[in-house]
Structure 1
């Protein structure tokens, strides 16, 4: 069993990233951009991270495509893929990369979807949420990978699971 933390759009709130890492203790962390932190910040050590549209002057890459725990991942902020409108561009990029998982942010609204052999996850904004789940004060996603299933559980800023926001995808 492996645990991945997916977080996005903390907009300078470094303390929440430190807290989530310590509390949830993931094996791997993915940051989908708009950290508004320096690329050489020690928090980014051993973290897959990309820059967002608010990361001015950042040296973080725009896109990462790591192979992690045997799974191809596509990590992006999403603003260059027009994710505010739909996921068409992101789906085409996922097809090209043969990505099992696609992590993106930018919209500040959590989302999870499975389409065309890809699982799309937007963790929402951990610091400035919008939309239906704005009342939670911020969200991130913890993905648990086992041999038989991938479970995506959303957490709030206090690292508490949101019971109605758990999704399981079986695979073989």
Structure 2
């Protein structure tokens, strides 16, 4: 089983980032922050995370997007503000297709949710500071296995499961 922790839009909250990382660091294969951390790239709170720049991040060391492979899955991570994600995911889908990414992690909208478009899964972990569309401050953990099952589970910043946001699909 492979697992990755995904969070976004923490807007300066280092304590929450640290608490979430410590809660899961021994059970995940990787960690992603989808931008708007409002921290510097060398911040201790972001240690161990794949991090991208959000519209509220100003450290030039952050990239607008990163692409990497993790245990047979290709990820595209971006904040989303440069792809108009508040309106549509089609620009982001086109970018994922160009890069051959099967999993897209993004933020910006502060609205937690997972969606599949064709063979691409879009994960927005919500916000650990200013959620929209629900009261819970959230992050996500995506997991997949050799059986081709892909699952995204959502949690509050206190570690409580948010069952109604859970998502599961299969890959060929």
Q: State the TM bucket, normalised to the shorter chain.
A: over 0.9
Stretches of 4+ aligned residues off by more than 4 angstroms: none
The CA distance in 2 between the partners of 1:31 and 1:58, in whole Å, is 16
Instruction: Using the TM superposition, give the Cα deviation of residue 34 of structure 1 relative to its aligned residue in structure 2, in angstroms.
Output: 0.2
In the other structure, the counterpart of 1:79 is: 81
Question: How many residue pairs align between the two structures?
Answer: 169
The CA distance in 1 between the partners of 2:57 and 2:168, in whole Å, is 33
Unaligned runs of 5+ in 1: none
Q: Establish whether residue 11 from structure 1 lines up as the match of residue 44 from structure 2.
A: no
The CA distance in 2 between the partners of 1:37 and 1:66, in whole Å, is 22
Instruction: Using the TM superposition, give the Cα deviation of residue 56 of structure 1 relative to its aligned residue in structure 2, in angstroms.
Output: 1.8
With 3-12 and 15-24 compared, the bigger mean Cα shift is at 15-24
Q: Establish whether residue 145 from structure 1 lines up as the match of residue 147 from structure 2.
A: no
Alpha-carbon displacement from aligned partner over 1:67-86 (angstroms, at most 9, x marks no partner):
11121100000000000111
**Structure 1 SS opposite 2:55:** coil
Contact 2:52 2:66 in 1 (8 A): yes
Unaligned runs of 5+ in 2: none
- Provide the TM-score with structure 1 as the length reference: 0.94
Contact 2:17 2:46 in 1 (8 A): no
